[in-house]
């Protein structure tokens, strides 16, 4: 509940205050994310690690159930007398804001009070003796420890864990730097970020970020496994061994085994010559993404790929063309119709307002469809050759009904025609 007010810890300005409806929606999504991660943990992580004792089940509670019923007079009488103003003023979050241009309002100042009341409720009603949080939460957690001791005379505990940071000490939040796309946002919800894109964003973290500390924080690998991993990584930096294992571990935990399998298959298709995908031998004989689909994948892999591209899957980047493979292969429209049909496909990849905006994006990034280059990067002439589009249309795979669209260097999409859908 107090999350809708915005924790001021580590902030130089006030967090944007969301509506009650948006807050309720966010709570529901967070609960779904946590439930999925816990399920993946039990299914995919626990079986392979040594557990010294039986693990207890985890309950997810929404503190709206008890905090929303609090009345101001009750808070003033029952809880506020146990808080010392001098202690609240010594909090780092308060000092940071009082010394800066953006001062702190009362709702932010009292945020630790609500968090402390929350801890008290959990201790009394759910036998909770420990609150865990990032290191920046130490002040808020201390408020809860003091409140419980002063009211109940009991000792409870706080456990803080180091924040995820870059090598220069900056907090590694939802937005991180990617070697392929600059600053990028990593979401846990697959509606906001497909599992394939999640996998790719981790895979493309720069070497400087993927440290021994980060791998220990984000994986359940043993110390011996981590030491061997980093040794292999340093021996072959171009292979991005550490990034690949980190991407595998996090995708497995956040999205599950099927999402990891689909992401690795798509990566193999989209980047056929990448050294990251090499296992043994040379891949110099593999020419393109389409060649992977047509000639390299076995029938079970092709069938699995098709299943991952169904509308209900939401695992991989895919646009659904409204036409069959034969429609594209036997296209008989005029030049302007060819261009319009192509731009209509492009518009399915983003929220473009119109074809002109889609064309502008293409000219900035460059476009390749079914291994045919249609627009070069930074093409100021906005020129698309219809005959090239026609050739690209004719190259849709006959067996799967699939095409491959590349925007820029790293953004890839499968194109599923009506022939692809099961």
How many structural domains compose the chain? 3
Same domain assignment for residues 278 and 255: yes
Q: Which residues contact 269 (CB under 8 A, 6 or more apart)?
A: 289, 292, 293, 297, 305, 404
In the sheet with 372-375, reading across from the earlier edge strand, the strands are 318-320, 411-416, 402-407, 367-369, 372-375
Is 170 within a domain?
Answer: no
Determine the 3-state secondary structure of 41 from DSSP: helix
| pLDDT recorded at residue 184 | 67
Beta-carbon count within 10 A of 208 CB? 11
Share of the chain above pLDDT 70, in %: 88
Tens of pLDDT, residue by residue over 216-237, are 999 999 999 999 999 999 999 8
Q: Is the pLDDT of residue 301 over 60?
A: yes
- Give a yes or no: residue 403 inside a domain: yes
Residue 16 has a pLDDT of 64
Q: How confident is the model at residue 413 (pLDDT cuts 50, 70, 90)?
A: very high
333 assigned to some structural domain: yes
**Domain shared by 12 and 152, yes or no:** yes
Among 4-13, 57-66, 102-111, the minimum mean pLDDT is found in 4-13
* Bigger pLDDT: 218 vs 283: 218
Residues 242 and 337 in one domain: no
**Rounded distance, CA 264 to CA 240, Å?**
14
Q: Are residues 263 and 370 in the same domain?
A: no
We report the CATH number of the domain holding residue 351 as 3.10.290
131 exposure class (CB count in 10 Å sphere: 0-12, 13-18, 19+): buried
Q: How confident is the model at residue 42 (pLDDT cuts 50, 70, 90)?
A: very high
Confidence of residue 422 (pLDDT cuts 50, 70, 90): low
Structural domain contains residue 294: no
Residues 120 and 17 in one domain: yes
Is 308 in the same domain as 369? yes
- Is residue 355, in this structure, part of any structural domain at all? yes
Domain match, 213 and 102 both: no
Decide if 166 is inside a domain: no
State the DSSP code for 162: P
Q: Find the CATH number of the domain harbouring 234.
A: 1.10.240.10
CATH code of the domain covering residue 103: 3.40.50.620
Q: What does the alpha-carbon distance between residue 340 and residue 346 come to, in Å, rounded to a whole number?
A: 10
Task: Tell me the pLDDT of the chain averaged across its residues.
Answer: 87
Judge if 201 and 268 occupy the same domain.
yes
pLDDT per position as a tens digit, 133-160: 999 899 999 999 999 999 999 999 999 9
User: Do 279 and 305 belong to one domain?
Assistant: no
CA 267, CA 367: separation in Å to the nearest integer? 18
Residue 261 structural domain: 175-287
**45 lies in the same domain as 106:** yes
């Amino acid at each position: 509940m107090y999350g809708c007010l915005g924790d001021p810890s580590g902030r130089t300005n006030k967090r944007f205050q969301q509506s009650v409806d948006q807050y309720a929606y966010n709570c529901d999504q967070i609960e779904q994310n946590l439930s999925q991660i816990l399920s993946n943990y039990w299914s995919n992580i626990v079986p392979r690690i040594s557990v010294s004792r039986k693990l207890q089940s985890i309950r997810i509670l929404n503190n709206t159930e008890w905090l929303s019923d609090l009345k101001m007079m009750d808070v003033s009488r029952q809880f506020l007398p146990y808080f010392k103003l001098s202690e609240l003023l010594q909090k780092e979050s308060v000092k940071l804001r009082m010394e800066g241009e953006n001062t702190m309002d009362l709702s932010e100042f009292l945020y630790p009070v609500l968090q402390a009341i929350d801890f008290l409720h959990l201790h009394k009603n759910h036998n909770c003796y420990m609150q865990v949080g990032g290191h920046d939460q130490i002040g808020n957690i201390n408020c809860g420890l003091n409140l419980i001791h002063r009211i109940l005379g009991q000792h409870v505990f706080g456990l803080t864990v180091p924040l995820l940071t870059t090598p220069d000490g900056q907090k590694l939040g939802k937005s991180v730097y990617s070697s392929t796309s600059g600053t990028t946002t990593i979401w846990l919800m697959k509606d906001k970020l497909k599992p394939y894109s999640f996998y790719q964003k981790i895979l493309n973290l720069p070497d400087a970020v993927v440290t021994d500390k980060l791998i220990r924080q984000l994986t359940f690998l043993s110390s011996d496994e981590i030491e061997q991993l980093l040794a292999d990584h340093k021996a072959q930096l171009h292979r991005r061994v550490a990034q690949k294992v980190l991407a595998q571990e996090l995708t497995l935990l956040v999205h599950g085994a099927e999402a990891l399998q689909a992401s690795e298959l798509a990566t193999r298709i989209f980047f056929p010559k990448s050294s990251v995908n090499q296992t043994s031998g040379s891949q110099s004989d593999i020419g393109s993404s389409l060649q992977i689909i047509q000639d390299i994948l076995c029938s079970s892999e092709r069938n699995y790929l098709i299943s991952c591209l169904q509308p209900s899957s939401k695992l991989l980047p895919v646009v659904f063309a409204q036409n069959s493979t034969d429609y594209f292969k036997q296209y008989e429209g005029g030049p302007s119709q060819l261009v319009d049909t192509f731009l209509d496909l492009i518009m399915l990849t983003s929220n473009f307002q119109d074809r002109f905006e889609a064309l502008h994006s293409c000219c900035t990034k460059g476009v390749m469809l079914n291994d045919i280059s249609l627009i070069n990067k930074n093409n100021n002439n906005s020129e698309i050759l219809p005959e090239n589009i026609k050739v690209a249309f004719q190259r849709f795979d006959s067996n799967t009904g699939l095409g491959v669209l590349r925007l820029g260097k790293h953004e890839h999409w499968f194109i599923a025609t009506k022939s692809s859908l099961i």
